């Protein structure tokens, strides 16, 4: 992965079920450093922020529950952490392994959450919408 992809792509964190960091790319480190939360020590060499730790802990619990019922399907749990303007979307993937919990993995994709602007409606479109709401007749596409 080149430096440009590293700066704009997702942050990637791979954890063991004991929450030992097995891999963390520079983008994940940069995104997590933007948060104002105190980091909790995970493993011996790496640290992750408290909200990430909580989401991973929730994923471990889901992983354990699914494995107890012999459900070996991968699963996804998403959430957001942080406060504006530094909100991060976490996409967590649980990867169970039939050999047991210790061989299973949790992979997190981190990306900044950008609020989507609300598209502006032109005066003509607004009038058309209001007319349709006031006097509904038959369905039609707006903006035509």
Inside any domain, residue 125 = no
Inside any domain, residue 97 = yes
Instruction: Say if residues 54 and 42 touch (Cβ distance below 8 Å).
Output: no
Inside any domain, residue 43 = yes
Inside any domain, residue 141 = no
Tokens of 143: 């903006």
Inside any domain, residue 121 = no
Q: What is the pLDDT of residue 82?
A: 81
What is the pTM assigned to this prediction?
0.68
CATH code (residue 100): 3.30.450.20
Inside any domain, residue 144 = no
Domain count, the chain: 1
pLDDT tens profile 47-106? 566 778 888 999 999 999 999 999 999 999 999 988 777 788 999 999 999 999 999 999
Q: How many residues does the chain have?
A: 144
What percentage of the chain carries pLDDT values higher than 70? 65
CB-neighbour burial class of residue 46 (10 A; exposed 0-12, middle 13-18, buried 19+): middle
Inside any domain, residue 134 = no
């Amino acid at each position: 992965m080149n430096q440009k992809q590293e700066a704009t792509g997702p942050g990637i964190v791979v954890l063991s079920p004991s929450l030992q960091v097995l891999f963390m790319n520079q983008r994940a480190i940069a995104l997590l450093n933007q948060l104002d939360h105190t980091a909790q020590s995970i493993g011996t060499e790496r640290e992750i922020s408290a909200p990430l730790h909580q989401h991973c802990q929730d994923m471990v619990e889901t992983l354990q529950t699914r494995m107890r019922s012999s459900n070996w399907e991968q699963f996804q749990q998403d959430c957001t952490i942080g406060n504006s303007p530094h909100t991060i979307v976490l996409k967590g993937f649980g990867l169970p392994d039939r050999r047991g919990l210790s061989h299973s993995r949790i992979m997190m994709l981190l990306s900044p959450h950008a609020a989507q602007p609300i598209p502006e409606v032109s005066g003509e479109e607004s009038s058309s919408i209001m007319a349709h709401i006031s006097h509904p007749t038959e369905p039609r596409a707006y903006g035509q």
